[in-house]
Amino acid sequence: MSATETELRELSYLGAVNEALHQIMAEDPDVFCAGEDVGASGGVFGSFGGLQKKYGELRAVDTPISEQAIVGLGIGAAVAGLRPVVDLMFMDFIMVAMDQIANQAAKLKYMFGGKTSLPLTITTNAGAGLSAAAQHSQSLESMLAHVPGLKVVMPSNPYDAKGLLVASIRDDNPVIYAKTKTLFGTKGPCPEDLFEVPLGVANITRPGTDATIVTYGRMAGESLKAASILSSEGVDVEVIDLRTLQPMDSETIIASVKRTNRCVVVHEAVRFAGMGAEIAAQIQEEAFDYLDAPIGRVAAPFSPVPFSPVLEGAYVPDAKRIAEGVRAAVQRG
């Protein structure tokens, strides 16, 4: 990448996704996209806009509403040597296709004694905030990260959205690439060239000395806002955007906590058995003696995502709640 930060043009999160698809399909004739409304209409959110017009019906495929068959289409085509991108419109719909994802895609390589690779990308859209209620708003990443064989990616900004998607598609393993719906319109710097953000490498989006926030997806931005609030109170927070949940960049987390001695994990998914539980466990295994306070978790409560905007607002963590979580960790001991 030759462009410097100052030279980068601004692009929306969704625009970055669409640009990545256009560019990688131009580069690699084995890449195709398939899913509900992916073809002629370019996807309900526009991620796949213009692909069918440019690359034809066989490379931007409108499929039946058949999540199992959509993922199976990708698996079979990947085993046959193609590099499919299949779309499950909402992360909630992943549950409809869980056999093909968790019992098939994730395990084929291992069960076959390594005799195949599975370069399959499953794109989907996660998160609450649109009053889409309990079946169109979930963040189910911890269920997926729990399955050996899968990789799980959740970009938080346009730069990562493009670079991580390119890396996901070029990866020879099944990757769940989960966008966050409420981030679609957010703009940020993003190179025009095709580039990769490597999977499994976290991004320290704000260096700090007093506490570490470990987060990803939509909460990465909220955590930076929380860090600004705390900065005005004299608390200097480090923010780590994981970018990839599987594989997880544990090294960066542990190194940071050893410096700051305090940690709060923040995610939009529900707290119980969420990624925060794994991250907290790893920290206490690797850096117990460095901790000056219990590891905090700021996450959604253990309930389905509610419909009404007032209830949904109370459900999703925000900068204010994250700041409260960090204060609790800093004030302790």
Partner 1 sequence: MEITNEVLKDLHYRMIRIRFFEEAAGKLFENSEMPGFLHLYVGEEAVAAGVCAALRPDDQIGSTHRGHGHLVGKGGDLPKMMAELMGKADGYCNGKGGSMHICDLDLNMLGANGIVGAGAPIAVGAAFANKYRGNDTVAVVFFGDGAVNIGAFHEAANMAAALQLPAVFVCENNEYGEYTPRSKTMAIDDVVDRAAGYGMPGVIVDGMDSVAVYEATTQAVARARAGHGPSFIECKTYRYYNHHGVQIMGFKYRTDEEVDMWKTRDCIEGIERDMLAQGVMTQDEIDTIRAKVQADVDEAVEFGRNSPFPDVDTLMDDVYTVAGANS
Query: Would you tell me which residues interact with partner 1 (CB under 8 A)?
Result: 32, 58-59, 61, 63-64, 66-82, 84, 99-100, 103-104, 108-119, 148-149, 151, 171-173
| φ/ψ bin of 303: left (φ > 0), alpha (ψ from -120 to 50), beta (otherwise) | beta
- Cα–Cα nearest to 188, from 17, 12, 2: 12
The pairing of beta strand 175-180 with beta strand 121-126: parallel
Q: Which is nearer to partner 1, 66 or 131 (CB)?
A: 66
Q: Which is nearer to partner 1, 69 or 133 (CB)?
A: 69
Least distance from C-beta 172 to partner 1, angstroms? 4
CA–CA distance, 137 with 295 (Å, rounded to integer): 27
User: Is the separation of the CB atoms in 87 and 47 below 8 Å?
Assistant: yes
| Set 67, 222, 238, 278: catalytic member | 67
User: Is the separation of the CB atoms in 309 and 131 below 8 Å?
Assistant: yes
Distances (CA, A) of 30 to 33, 58, 100: 10, 11, 21
Helix (H) or strand (E) run with residue 61 in it: strand 60-62
Question: Catalytic: 136?
Answer: yes
User: Is the separation of the CB atoms in 120 and 169 below 8 Å?
Assistant: no
Least distance from C-beta 113 to partner 1, angstroms? 4
| Set 136, 141, 238, 278: catalytic member | 136
187-222 burial, b at 16+ Cβ within 10 Å, e below that, comes to: ebbbbeebbbbebbebbebbebebbbbbbbbbbbbb
Strand partners, 62: 35
- Cα–Cα nearest to 268, from 244, 242, 313, 298: 298
Q: Which is nearer to partner 1, 247 or 309 (CB)?
A: 247
Q: Which is nearer to partner 1, 11 or 85 (CB)?
A: 85
Least distance from C-beta 25 to partner 1, angstroms? 13
The pairing of beta strand 31-35 with beta strand 60-62: parallel
Q: Which is nearer to partner 1, 11 or 245 (CB)?
A: 245
The number of beta carbons lying within 10 Å of the beta carbon of residue 95 is 15
Q: Which is nearer to partner 1, 75 or 230 (CB)?
A: 75
Least distance from C-beta 64 to partner 1, angstroms? 6
Least distance from C-beta 95 to partner 1, angstroms? 13
Least distance from C-beta 170 to partner 1, angstroms? 9
Question: Catalytic: 286?
Answer: no
Active site residues: 67, 136
